[in-house]
Structure 1
Amino acid sequence: MRTQVGIIGAGPAGLLLSHLLHLAGIESVVLEARDRPYVEGRIRAGVLEQGTVDVLNQTGLGERMNREGLLHHGTTLRFRGRNHHIDFVDLTGKAVMVYGQHEVVKDIIAQRLKDGGNIQFEAADVSVHDVDGERPFILWRDKNGSPHKLDCDFIAGCDGFHGICRPAIPASIQQVYERVYPFGWLGILAKSKPVQEELIYNNHARGFALFSMRSPEITRLYLQCDPDEDIANWPDDRIWEELHKRLEGEDNLRLPEGPIFQKGVTPMRSFVAGPMRHGRLFLAGDAAHIVPPTGAKGMNLAVADVRYLSRALESFFRKNDSDRLAGYSDICMRRIWKAQRFSWWMTSLLHKFDERSAFENEVQLAELDYVVSSRAAMTSLAENYVGLPFEEQA
């Protein structure tokens, strides 16, 4: 097999990159270890920045999102038992879209297959070779065990944190930054009436809680917990009891209950690995960076990565200009570190840290009080939440 760009991973990064390349007339093949039902059913949160929404709309992927997604014009910070609304549109003129990551994946897969795209599901024993030369290639086996070789001009590693592409970059040239937080999120999906139409980020002495929604009938709720918490210790009654304690308060907010049909515990970490390029291998999405979900930046950073990468590859194939490819890692890193800063700040602002002193806890509440009483502070939060403007490459 021969293609221009070999893409490893059929998550949002790999699939969107394949679609963007197709629109630019560049061939690609996507290799994915899992089968299609698994990929499309892999539930992930989905708060889409304005820039991400624009990319999906501009590339013909936004029809179902615009029909079924939930447009949020703001969000709520809640502390000391009271709500404080942050109006994104008033502060920035922008909004966010709540639309599940797995729904985005479904939309892109459907479009790629409609366009004749080559997605090889259940690809096993994938390995990359000669990435520092001019003729890189990928070895893999199909679902029947037959071996294949994919020759390509470039390889895009969109295969996530546990993938094989990042380890293919020599450790001697790679800088890794990581912070593991001393807590996780216990998340549930429930068939219950939403308490309001926008997210509630809640600071509480018992720990952080988050109210979100997937539809007018489905709510998504989170509780701060130990990172190694056994979900078996959390029957439904205990979860609802704890959510009531953390989210309800003196302002008469009441949380409706309903059947819980999914629950699990997600550890929290910040991670960055760079550079995101070695020879003709480029990393994108979770293969290069992970953010805690507090700032809702994960998929949005992946979209920004492949937007930059697709344009750099287009410059190379159309004009034989490699300058954008050379600058790919640097331009991505500037956005990644701004997103890491915001996610770290939101996490620090809203969560309970056992090692903090009583003084530090009061400072945390004072900062929350400052944020919701200062238009400048609210604007800073809103600008970062709805998404900073894309930096255009020279």
Structure 2
Amino acid sequence: MSIADGVENSIASARRYACEGFALFLKAKMNWTYKPLAQENIDRFRRWLPALGYTGKRCLPHGSYLINLGNPNNVKRAQAMDSFLDDLRRCALLGISVYNFHPGSGVGECTKEQACTNIATCINEAHLTLAKENLSCPIILLENMAGQGQQVGRYFEELADVIAQVRDKGKVGVCLDTAHAFAAGFDIHTIAGFNAMMADFDRIIGAQYLHGMHLNDSKEALGSRKDRHENIGQGHIGLAPFWCIMNQERFAGMPLVLETPAASWRVWKGEIEALYELQGLPEEEGAWRGVKEKLKALSELPKEMAGTDIAKAGLPPKPYKDQRTKGEGDKKGATGKTAQAKVKKATAVKKEILRGQALQHATDELAIDRPAADGGLAPKRKRKAL
């Protein structure tokens, strides 16, 4: 979920899609520089989370893509560690209980074993650092990976190696990504194949360490080692593993996060509805025909900006291009500067519209008022059941 114009807006967006849990980036995912969270945003997040029906265990943030705790270069690993600690502190401030990240790699400069040790050492240091700061560290979840390059996490044994070296076993776990597992070589396109993978997970890592799932189909074939997500039911995986996840008791209560591409917010909403429709259906694939047809129809929706009504607001669907004039002297580039100014103004207006739309939809549904002046949510009448 987007945190544009405030981390708390991810909560309202999640409620708009009728999600029972959600994920978000705590800051820019591809940037080493970042601003601290404003206290007013922290306060709103902590108030809106329960007001809109969520808990800290239902929110699964994703770490910055730049973090690589396996890097043998001390300077680069220290930079990654700073960003890692910043993420964990943000979780503590927001009352979030779990945190997911890509473990990293040895970048071809050390063995996988050494990379695993580097990762575990950083996690141990993070646990100690937050304890000294009297902050509650979330459970740190290692994500399984597709296996590109020297990534740690293609094999369950690698994740188990990291966990074995972490001292506080209650503060470490795993988030399983279905697309990554398929790309790594786990044949989960059948119920038997998915169950076999989970049996391997339980034997090698331990069932108690699974705290979250990323639900994605795959654009690439089995064992491709390429991380390319596809919409549910539209890739090489099919519906079998998702039927298992929606019907097996072991997955109840943990955050299940969609990371699928979408040209429209209706795709995500439709995928969520389709996954719920799998609940209670027989395990025979023929019983899923209606769900398959619904997902196919979603793939044919026209493209639009996800979750917005920008066209109705009279704003451009995408930023202006910088079209400079070829005049002389001070006039050169004037058109380009004007266009940039328009983009800045339009973006500010768009953010305000989106923030209002998401929150209004959520507050209308749960029958609570807009935020009060102090950032709180005042009860309006008895909330509807979730």
Instruction: Tell me if TM exceeds 0.5.
Output: no
Greater percentage in helix:
2
Q: TM-score by structure 1 length?
A: 0.26
Q: TM-score by structure 2 length?
A: 0.27
Greater percentage in strand:
1
